[in-house]
A and B are shown apart, each in its own frame.
Chain A
Protein backbone atom coordinates (compact mmCIF):
# COMPACT_ATOMS: atom_id res chain seq x y z
CA UNK A 1 0.00 0.00 0.00
CA UNK A 2 2.71 2.50 0.89
CA UNK A 3 4.85 1.93 -2.16
CA UNK A 4 2.64 3.86 -4.49
CA UNK A 5 0.13 6.19 -2.85
CA UNK A 6 -2.31 6.56 -5.69
CA UNK A 7 -4.91 8.38 -3.67
CA UNK A 8 -2.57 11.36 -3.24
CA UNK A 9 -1.77 11.46 -6.94
CA UNK A 10 -5.41 11.34 -7.90
CA UNK A 11 -6.32 14.04 -5.37
CA UNK A 12 -3.42 16.12 -6.70
CA UNK A 13 -4.48 15.84 -10.33
CA UNK A 14 -8.10 16.53 -9.38
CA UNK A 15 -7.08 19.74 -7.62
CA UNK A 16 -4.85 20.67 -10.60
CA UNK A 17 -7.78 20.14 -12.92
CA UNK A 18 -9.99 22.34 -10.74
CA UNK A 19 -7.31 25.06 -10.72
CA UNK A 20 -6.92 25.04 -14.50
CA UNK A 21 -10.65 25.14 -15.00
CA UNK A 22 -11.01 27.98 -12.51
CA UNK A 23 -8.56 30.05 -14.54
CA UNK A 24 -10.57 29.39 -17.71
CA UNK A 25 -13.90 30.21 -16.06
CA UNK A 26 -12.43 33.47 -14.74
CA UNK A 27 -11.16 34.25 -18.25
CA UNK A 28 -14.57 33.55 -19.79
CA UNK A 29 -16.40 35.72 -17.28
CA UNK A 30 -13.81 38.48 -17.69
CA UNK A 31 -14.39 38.44 -21.45
CA UNK A 32 -18.18 38.14 -21.22
CA UNK A 33 -18.55 41.56 -22.90
CA UNK A 34 -15.63 41.32 -25.36
CA UNK A 35 -16.82 41.19 -28.99
CA UNK A 36 -15.79 38.07 -30.90
CA UNK A 37 -14.59 36.12 -27.87
CA UNK A 38 -15.27 32.36 -27.73
CA UNK A 39 -15.84 30.56 -24.43
CA UNK A 40 -13.06 28.14 -23.49
CA UNK A 41 -13.15 24.99 -21.38
CA UNK A 42 -11.28 21.77 -20.63
CA UNK A 43 -12.87 18.35 -20.40
CA UNK A 44 -14.43 17.23 -17.09
CA UNK A 45 -12.00 15.49 -14.73
CA UNK A 46 -13.78 12.17 -15.19
CA UNK A 47 -13.01 12.14 -18.93
CA UNK A 48 -9.50 13.50 -18.57
CA UNK A 49 -8.71 10.87 -15.98
CA UNK A 50 -10.21 8.03 -18.00
CA UNK A 51 -8.20 9.04 -21.09
CA UNK A 52 -4.80 9.39 -19.45
CA UNK A 53 -1.90 7.54 -21.02
CA UNK A 54 -2.10 4.05 -19.61
CA UNK A 55 0.75 1.87 -20.72
CA UNK A 56 -0.68 -1.18 -18.92
CA UNK A 57 -1.10 -1.83 -15.28
CA UNK A 58 1.56 -4.53 -14.89
CA UNK A 59 4.97 -3.47 -16.14
CA UNK A 60 6.25 -0.01 -15.47
CA UNK A 61 9.56 1.07 -16.92
CA UNK A 62 9.46 4.49 -15.33
CA UNK A 63 8.06 5.73 -12.06
CA UNK A 64 5.52 8.03 -13.64
CA UNK A 65 4.19 5.21 -15.77
CA UNK A 66 2.73 3.52 -12.75
CA UNK A 67 -1.00 3.65 -12.14
CA UNK A 68 -2.53 6.82 -10.92
CA UNK A 69 -2.00 10.07 -12.68
CA UNK A 70 0.44 12.68 -11.51
CA UNK A 71 -1.01 15.06 -14.06
CA UNK A 72 1.92 15.10 -16.47
CA UNK A 73 0.49 12.45 -18.79
CA UNK A 74 -2.99 13.90 -18.95
CA UNK A 75 -4.67 15.68 -21.77
CA UNK A 76 -5.27 19.27 -20.68
CA UNK A 77 -6.30 20.44 -24.15
CA UNK A 78 -8.42 23.59 -24.16
CA UNK A 79 -11.52 23.51 -26.33
CA UNK A 80 -13.31 26.53 -27.74
CA UNK A 81 -17.04 26.87 -28.10
CA UNK A 82 -17.54 28.61 -31.41
CA UNK A 83 -20.53 30.38 -32.86
CA UNK A 84 -21.70 33.06 -30.46
CA UNK A 85 -25.41 33.72 -30.22
CA UNK A 86 -24.89 37.31 -29.09
CA UNK A 87 -25.06 40.17 -31.61
CA UNK A 88 -21.38 40.92 -30.91
CA UNK A 89 -20.34 37.30 -31.73
CA UNK A 90 -19.53 36.40 -28.12
CA UNK A 91 -20.31 32.85 -27.03
CA UNK A 92 -20.02 33.28 -23.23
CA UNK A 93 -23.13 32.58 -21.18
CA UNK A 94 -22.67 34.23 -17.79
CA UNK A 95 -25.13 31.87 -16.09
CA UNK A 96 -23.41 28.74 -17.42
CA UNK A 97 -20.01 30.08 -16.35
CA UNK A 98 -21.17 30.83 -12.79
CA UNK A 99 -22.56 27.29 -12.61
CA UNK A 100 -19.25 25.92 -13.84
CA UNK A 101 -17.48 28.03 -11.22
CA UNK A 102 -19.53 26.43 -8.44
CA UNK A 103 -18.77 22.99 -9.88
CA UNK A 104 -15.05 23.81 -9.89
CA UNK A 105 -15.11 25.03 -6.31
CA UNK A 106 -16.83 21.85 -5.13
CA UNK A 107 -14.40 19.67 -7.04
CA UNK A 108 -11.44 21.51 -5.54
CA UNK A 109 -12.86 21.23 -2.01
CA UNK A 110 -13.49 17.53 -2.57
CA UNK A 111 -9.94 16.92 -3.75
CA UNK A 112 -8.50 18.74 -0.74
CA UNK A 113 -10.81 16.83 1.63
CA UNK A 114 -9.61 13.52 0.15
CA UNK A 115 -6.01 14.65 0.52
CA UNK A 116 -6.52 15.75 4.13
CA UNK A 117 -8.30 12.60 5.23
CA UNK A 118 -5.67 10.35 3.57
CA UNK A 119 -3.06 12.34 5.41
CA UNK A 120 -4.96 11.69 8.64
CA UNK A 121 -4.90 7.96 7.94
CA UNK A 122 -1.13 8.09 7.43
CA UNK A 123 -0.67 10.07 10.62
CA UNK A 124 -2.83 7.64 12.55
CA UNK A 125 -0.72 4.75 11.29
CA UNK A 126 2.35 6.51 12.66
CA UNK A 127 0.67 6.70 16.04
CA UNK A 128 0.27 10.47 15.96
CA UNK A 129 -2.93 12.35 15.88
Chain B
Protein backbone atom coordinates (compact mmCIF):
# COMPACT_ATOMS: atom_id res chain seq x y z
CA UNK B 1 0.00 0.00 0.00
CA UNK B 2 1.57 3.29 -1.05
CA UNK B 3 1.81 6.25 1.30
CA UNK B 4 -0.82 8.17 -0.62
CA UNK B 5 -3.26 5.27 -0.56
CA UNK B 6 -2.68 5.05 3.21
CA UNK B 7 -3.25 8.76 3.61
CA UNK B 8 -6.49 8.62 1.62
CA UNK B 9 -7.85 5.63 3.54
CA UNK B 10 -7.08 7.26 6.90
CA UNK B 11 -8.81 10.47 5.86
CA UNK B 12 -11.78 8.50 4.59
CA UNK B 13 -12.12 6.66 7.93
CA UNK B 14 -12.03 9.98 9.76
CA UNK B 15 -14.65 11.52 7.47
CA UNK B 16 -16.91 8.59 8.19
CA UNK B 17 -16.35 8.86 11.95
CA UNK B 18 -17.06 12.59 11.98
CA UNK B 19 -20.24 12.20 9.97
CA UNK B 20 -21.43 9.45 12.33
CA UNK B 21 -20.81 11.86 15.19
CA UNK B 22 -22.74 14.60 13.42
CA UNK B 23 -25.62 12.20 12.86
CA UNK B 24 -25.85 11.40 16.58
CA UNK B 25 -25.65 15.08 17.44
CA UNK B 26 -28.60 15.85 15.17
CA UNK B 27 -30.45 12.91 16.71
CA UNK B 28 -29.88 14.44 20.14
CA UNK B 29 -31.00 17.89 19.02
CA UNK B 30 -34.15 16.62 17.37
CA UNK B 31 -35.06 14.72 20.55
CA UNK B 32 -34.31 17.62 22.89
CA UNK B 33 -38.00 17.90 23.82
CA UNK B 34 -38.78 14.17 23.95
CA UNK B 35 -39.71 13.20 27.55
CA UNK B 36 -37.28 10.68 29.05
CA UNK B 37 -34.73 10.89 26.21
CA UNK B 38 -31.09 10.48 27.19
CA UNK B 39 -28.45 12.03 24.96
CA UNK B 40 -26.16 9.69 23.05
CA UNK B 41 -22.39 10.02 23.16
CA UNK B 42 -20.03 8.70 20.49
CA UNK B 43 -16.53 7.61 21.57
CA UNK B 44 -13.70 7.78 19.02
CA UNK B 45 -11.02 5.11 19.05
CA UNK B 46 -7.70 4.83 17.21
CA UNK B 47 -7.64 1.37 15.65
CA UNK B 48 -4.43 0.01 14.17
CA UNK B 49 -4.95 -1.43 10.71
CA UNK B 50 -2.28 -4.14 10.63
CA UNK B 51 -2.39 -4.72 6.88
CA UNK B 52 -1.41 -1.11 6.17
CA UNK B 53 0.33 -0.23 9.45
CA UNK B 54 -1.74 2.88 10.06
CA UNK B 55 -4.01 4.07 12.85
CA UNK B 56 -7.50 4.65 11.54
CA UNK B 57 -10.36 6.21 13.44
CA UNK B 58 -13.38 4.19 14.31
CA UNK B 59 -16.53 4.86 16.27
CA UNK B 60 -16.89 2.77 19.41
CA UNK B 61 -20.18 1.58 20.93
CA UNK B 62 -22.67 4.40 21.38
CA UNK B 63 -23.45 5.09 25.05
CA UNK B 64 -26.23 6.95 26.77
CA UNK B 65 -25.50 9.91 28.99
CA UNK B 66 -26.39 8.79 32.53
CA UNK B 67 -26.80 12.26 34.00
CA UNK B 68 -30.14 13.20 35.59
CA UNK B 69 -33.09 14.02 33.40
CA UNK B 70 -34.45 17.53 33.57
CA UNK B 71 -37.51 18.02 35.78
CA UNK B 72 -40.10 20.09 33.99
CA UNK B 73 -43.00 21.62 35.89
CA UNK B 74 -46.24 21.22 33.94
CA UNK B 75 -49.19 19.85 35.97
CA UNK B 76 -51.38 19.55 32.85
CA UNK B 77 -48.91 17.18 31.16
CA UNK B 78 -50.14 13.56 30.91
CA UNK B 79 -46.84 12.27 32.31
CA UNK B 80 -46.78 14.63 35.28
CA UNK B 81 -46.42 13.04 38.74
CA UNK B 82 -48.05 14.12 42.03
CA UNK B 83 -45.88 17.23 42.35
CA UNK B 84 -46.72 18.32 38.80
CA UNK B 85 -43.29 17.51 37.36
CA UNK B 86 -42.39 15.23 34.47
CA UNK B 87 -39.02 14.08 33.25
CA UNK B 88 -37.74 15.83 30.14
CA UNK B 89 -34.56 14.94 28.24
CA UNK B 90 -30.99 15.58 29.42
CA UNK B 91 -29.95 17.22 26.16
CA UNK B 92 -28.18 20.56 26.54
CA UNK B 93 -28.54 22.40 23.24
CA UNK B 94 -25.41 24.47 23.87
CA UNK B 95 -23.28 21.33 24.21
CA UNK B 96 -24.80 19.78 21.11
CA UNK B 97 -24.25 22.87 18.96
CA UNK B 98 -20.63 23.12 20.13
CA UNK B 99 -20.14 19.43 19.38
CA UNK B 100 -21.62 19.86 15.92
CA UNK B 101 -19.34 22.78 15.23
CA UNK B 102 -16.28 20.79 16.31
CA UNK B 103 -17.33 17.86 14.13
CA UNK B 104 -17.72 20.19 11.17
CA UNK B 105 -14.30 21.74 11.73
CA UNK B 106 -12.62 18.33 11.92
CA UNK B 107 -14.55 17.14 8.88
CA UNK B 108 -13.27 20.08 6.85
CA UNK B 109 -9.69 19.53 7.99
CA UNK B 110 -9.89 15.88 6.93
CA UNK B 111 -11.45 16.81 3.62
CA UNK B 112 -8.54 19.17 3.02
CA UNK B 113 -6.03 16.41 3.73
CA UNK B 114 -7.91 14.04 1.43
CA UNK B 115 -7.83 16.62 -1.35
CA UNK B 116 -4.13 17.25 -0.78
CA UNK B 117 -3.25 13.55 -0.88
CA UNK B 118 -5.20 13.20 -4.09
CA UNK B 119 -3.43 16.17 -5.65
CA UNK B 120 0.00 14.88 -4.65
CA UNK B 121 -0.59 11.45 -6.10
CA UNK B 122 -2.02 12.87 -9.32
CA UNK B 123 0.97 15.20 -9.76
CA UNK B 124 3.18 12.14 -9.26
CA UNK B 125 1.26 10.40 -12.02
CA UNK B 126 1.76 13.45 -14.23
CA UNK B 127 5.46 12.60 -14.32
CA UNK B 128 4.60 9.71 -16.63
CA UNK B 129 3.02 12.15 -19.04
CA UNK B 130 5.33 13.91 -21.41
Contact = CB atoms under 8 A, between A and B. Distances in A.
A27 B3 contact: no
Lowest 6 A-B CB distances belong to which pairs?
A30-B14, A19-B3, A26-B7, A23-B7, A34-B44, A26-B113
Contact of A34 (B4, B46, B116): B46
Interface of A: 15-16, 18-20, 22-23, 25-27, 29-37, 94, 97-98, 101, 104-105, 108-109, 112, 115-116
19 contacts: A19-B4, A19-B7, A22-B7, A23-B4, A23-B7, A26-B114, A26-B117, A27-B55, A30-B13, A30-B113, A32-B109, A33-B18, A35-B43, A36-B46, A94-B105, A97-B109, A104-B116, A105-B120, A109-B123
Contacts of B18: 33
A30 B10 contact: yes
Contact of B14 (A20, A25, A29, A101): A29
A22 B10 contact: no
Given A22-B116, A35-B44, A112-B123, A30 B3 contact: no
B127 to A, nearest CB: 6
A19 B2 contact: yes
B90 interface: no
Contacts of A97: 109
Interface of B is mostly: helix
A116 B110 CA distance: 30
Contacts of A26: 6-8, 10-11, 110, 113-114, 117
Contacts of A35: 43-44
Contacts of A105: 116, 119-120
A34 B43 CA distance: 8
Contacts of A109: 123
Contacts of A36: 46
A18 B13 CA distance: 21
Contact of A18 (B2, B102, B105, B120): B120
A29 B105 CA distance: 11
B15 to A, nearest CB: 9
A98 B109 CA distance: 8
Contacts of B113: 22, 25-26, 29-30, 101
